[in-house]
Amino acid sequence: MSMEVEPSPEREQPLRIVVIDDDLDVLLLCRVNLEMEGFEVHLATGGAEGIELIAACDPDAVVLDVMMPNIDGFEVLRAIRAEPTTRNLPVVILSVRASDADHTQGHDSGADAYISKPFVPSELVLALNKAVEHRVTTGPSINASSSPA
């Protein structure tokens, strides 16, 4: 079953997603699966690079790892929420940190969804679609929680 992203009538381009993770295998897995579903995907291998990429490519949503060297995902998320131009950008955390406390911290930090690794690609697609749709219709975070299937 495909969950391909259909551009809305006012949107002719596919949704632009920035994926930030220091694990190249996860980046490639995300790229392949998201592109197969119709997303335009941009990759960053760390927090600082991710913040720069967000500013450069004006994405529709971000997929963000938590555990990264130098600038971790929570710091990136705080930077996104602090900037007026990205404050309402949908963010889905994709992390190996899977405890209830980690999920709570992610949502309290402003994540729209939290998916634990290992993950099912269709779950990521669904979380991105929900986060983008919710931000478009209401603005604030949906705080949807996901766990591995």
Q: Percentage of the chain surpassing pLDDT 90?
A: 79
Contact indicator for 123, 10 with CB cutoff of 8 Å: no
Q: Residue 147 above 90 pLDDT?
A: no
Burial class (CB in 10 A: 0-12, 13-18, 19+), 51: buried
Q: Are 89 and 59 in contact (CB under 8 A)?
A: yes
What does the pLDDT read at residue 135? 80
Distance from chain centroid for Cα 29: 14
Range name among 27-36, 52-61, 96-105, 116-125 with the lowest pLDDT average: 96-105
In the numeric block, which tokens belong to residue 23? 């694990």
Q: Is 110 left (phi over 0), alpha (psi -120 to 50) or beta?
A: left
pLDDT in tens, 78-123: 999 999 999 999 999 999 998 899 999 999 999 999 999 999 999 9
Is the pLDDT at 26 greater than 60, yes or no?
Answer: yes
- pLDDT of res. 138: 72
The structure's pTM equals: 0.85
Q: Give me the pLDDT at residue 8, please.
A: 45
Instruction: Round to whole Å and give the CA distance between 45 and 30.
Output: 13
Q: Is the pLDDT of residue 40 over 60?
A: yes
Average pLDDT, the chain: 87
**What is the mean pLDDT of the segment spanning 36-47?**
97
Q: What is the pLDDT of residue 13?
A: 85
Q: DSSP code of 69? A: S
Alpha-carbon distances of 15 from 48, 111, 112, 146, rounded to whole Å: 22, 18, 16, 21
Distances (CA, A) of 9 to 36, 97, 115, 147: 21, 38, 29, 32
